[in-house]
Amino acid sequence: MKIDPRRGRLVGAAYRPSPHCDARPVGMPISLLVIHGISLPAGEFGGPWIERLFLGRLEAGAHPALAGLAGVRVSAHLFIRRDGKIIQFVPFKRRAWHAGVSVFQDRPRCNDYSIGIELEGTDAAPYADIQYARLIVVTRALMRAYPAITLDRVVGHCDIAPERKTDPGPAFDWNRLRYGLAM
């Protein structure tokens, strides 16, 4: 896979533009990759709810577990489903609203300088082999396109917002990702 730098898009990924993004600060280099885990409703996979959430089309009344998400405005640059399908919601050159209140190495506002990748999963369930394979290929492409993203700047949501977030969770195999990136 490769990145189209002009469009800020991952070549080959499905594209569904999210309204939940804005311009990055002028001159702000992309220097951090944040890995997330998400399922909607919690622990359920394969439904339409995550895409609808990122597109601002979630009908909170459609399922009792979604009621608390009414009006929430979030997105990610990429979403990797359990079957390996990759969907891009925000061009990399724009700021996706994925990290919330966050700090990396004493630097706040991680959304300003990061790319967010959501994996369909939970803190407790192992992620799928195909998700790791896709994540490794995508991360390599991002590291080539944005050289300030180095191995030590690939982190979990739990690392930049430890008081609020636990994802991608204990079920995520960081060693597997790092080994795959080192090869």
Nearest to 98 by CA among 107, 106, 88: 88
Nearest to 79 by CA among 121, 44, 41, 113: 121
What's the number of CA atoms in the CB half-sphere (13 Å) around residue 57? 9
Active site annotation includes 118:
yes
Active-site annotation holder among 44, 51, 118, 120:
118
- Amino acid occupying residue 157: H
- Residue 98 near residue 74 (C-beta atoms within 8 A): yes
Beta bridge partners of 116: 34
Catalytic center residues: 118
